[in-house]
Amino acid sequence: MAVKHIAAPLTDEAVASLRAGDRVLISGVVYTARDAAHKRMIEALDRGEALPFDVSGQVIYYVGPTPARPGQVIGSAGPTTSGRMDAYAPRLLALGLKGMIGKGYRNQEVKEAMAKHKAVYFAAVGGAGALLAKAIKAQEPVAYEDLGPEAVRKLVIEQFPAVVVNDIYGNDLYRQGVEQYREA
């Protein structure tokens, strides 16, 4: 299977072209946010305030990078467990979020919201944070700097490797993998 090159932010057409199991290289702009930042974003929405960035078309990478060493753009930047964002993701998907990068399963509500709002979930390789950081070419803080590594950051990435786990068609690579194993 060929690797697909995709650009972030994502368009509806790009999202529609992706299927669970597709290997991708993502280039463009993505934002970082983990559970503490997600909680603050939802609290801001509850107060009628704007988010720190327009999520429409965007991809959020669930990561809390380590500090950069001298001469580096960013420290180790491996994915965190996505399930911690499941309580917040459907609301952001309804606002136009098109992609999420993390590791691990998503709950049924998130998968249904992805299908409804045309978004995808990508998995990045856990434990490979130093390698993944090499795909990050620039970064700048956006919001919640008091959260340290969990602050929202804007990242410019080039050929960031990931795999589509959940697509807009209801496919789930994790479920498909188990089914294929049981059939073998």
Query: What pLDDT, in 10s, does the model give residues 141-183?
Result: 999 999 999 999 999 999 999 999 999 999 999 887 666 656 6
Query: What pLDDT, in 10s, does the model give residues 63-116?
Result: 999 999 999 999 999 999 999 999 999 999 999 999 999 999 999 999 999 999
β-sheet bridge partners, residue 27 = 7
Specify the pLDDT at position 35.
95
Residue 184: pLDDT above 80? Answer: no
The sign of the CA dihedral 38, 43, 46, 50 is: negative
Mean pLDDT, range 129-143, rounded to an integer = 95
| Catalytic annotation, residues | 38
Specify the pLDDT at position 176.
75
In this structure, are strands 120-123 and 152-166 parallel, antiparallel, or unpaired?
antiparallel
Give the contacts of 83 (CB within 8 A, at least 6 positions apart).
104, 105, 106, 107
